[in-house]
Structure 1
Amino acid sequence: MASLQNSPSLYHTLSPNSFPQVSLQNQKHHGTFPCCRRSFSFLVRAEQPSASSSALSQVGCGRRQLIAIGVSAPWISLLNQPSSSFAAETKKGFLLVTDKKDSYSFLYPFGWQEVVIEGQDKVFKDVIEPLESVSINLIPTAKQDIRDFGPPQQVAETLIKKVLAPPSQKTKLVEAKEVYFNLIFSSVSSQDVDGKVYYMIEFIAQAPNFTRHALSAVAVANGKFYTLTTGANERRWEKMKDKLHTIIDSFKIGNA
């Protein structure tokens, strides 16, 4: 069974040095973990208005036509929304990140600032609470599915020990599970709906001067291994966990 440790193309790239978490020991102000979602997303395909919609312009349409139009009009309006509206649900207090080149999107809390950290595609963090952050990492892979690397717990344990936390930190896996989503991304046709499998991971990493509670979502698509991680100081977990789950739940990967 394939594993990250036995995959030269992924393991050497998915090294601790490629993730900002490692710098937490020496540079706490750059602390960030590279993702988890609890709910399923349902999407409606955009379609052309039916012939009945043209009756709206016909003064002499019959009662039966008017009733049919009245019922279908709201759905026609919904189905004709731009596909970009489905990239991620907008939510009060959050901003949307959309990367059409690498075909992903997610939400992050309003007020977090973007910072540049080597090895990460994007990073957003709270400047006052540096352990509160979200980051995404992309690694090339020849695999077609996250399940090719093994079951959720095996992949989670390998990532936590080898990638998501420095070796000096004591880690604990809280949960690892497989979740399936039907997703659509704004950079592809509204008819191109793809089901993807994600591994959702919750873990705790303990350093000498802090403990971080984190959520990660990993998936394979478009020839890449995607890792989105967010988290907060353990002492603020109860206050932040709903926001962190919102970030993870919003993460979507489309077809490049």
Structure 2
Amino acid sequence: MISNPNEPLTHRPLAGFYGRQFDLTGRTAVVTGGGRNIGLACAQALAEAGAKVVITGRSDSDTAERGRDELAHLGYDASVLKFDVTKADEVEKAAEIVADQFGGADILVCNSGAGLGRFPAEDLADEAWMQTLDLNLNGVFRCCRAFGRQMLTKKKGAIINIGSISGEIVNRPQFQSDYNVAKAGVHHLTKCLAAEWADRGVRVNAVAPTYIDKPGRWGKDDDSIFSTWMSSTPMNRQGEPHEIGSVVLFLASDASSLMTGAIVMADGGYTVW
């Protein structure tokens, strides 16, 4: 393994080099909203690669604990940390805890987010607009800022933000301008931070998933909606959480050492058409 992933190789790698690039042994990975669906898949992928995983969740939910228990059943240890990404003071306190207990974060996956409703723009209330942006965009910024400081101090680290195809296109047939704008903001924030922090050893990339098959998937049971989504997808299917976890593992590892500011489309071809 190369000693500094930011230094280019000047020779041909030795045998076994490429496989070792995915080894995350000794690194601490914080996964926000890591107790289920995409977040849990990311947590498992990073744990399998050897990282010490910290799953975060809100204090009013036991989702993080359930995710930890699922990983334990598979033979992987994970810690749980409770905080709300919409509250700056809680995010800062959580970062202090990670610094004290684990020596700071080496990997951050900003996964917390949700579509909070689907309304035509003319019916979208200010409160709903602000809530969507606060969770999906401001929360990502708060986490990147707090845990990014730790990486800048170490002069190394990898941040992976979970964006969406909604940050690149306007979804149909549903109306969700607030969510689309928030995810577009996540994509551009990713590029901004990548540009600011690249020469200080911190890489920032994003994954933009398509519709992911998960319990309670809105629209899946409505053929007028679901058929529109699938007819817009060359692969003619939804994604699976593990398919996003695999991309996150790549972006968290030294295998992607030349990548920063990238928005990786994991969309079954949705944005091609």
Same structural fold, with TM-score higher than 0.5 when normalized by the shorter chain: no
> Shorter-chain-normalised TM-score: which range?
under 0.3
Larger Rg: 1
Q: Which has the higher contact order (CA 8 A, sep 6+)?
A: 1
Normalized per residue, the structure richer in helix is 2
What is the TM-score with the length of structure 1 in the denominator? Answer: 0.28
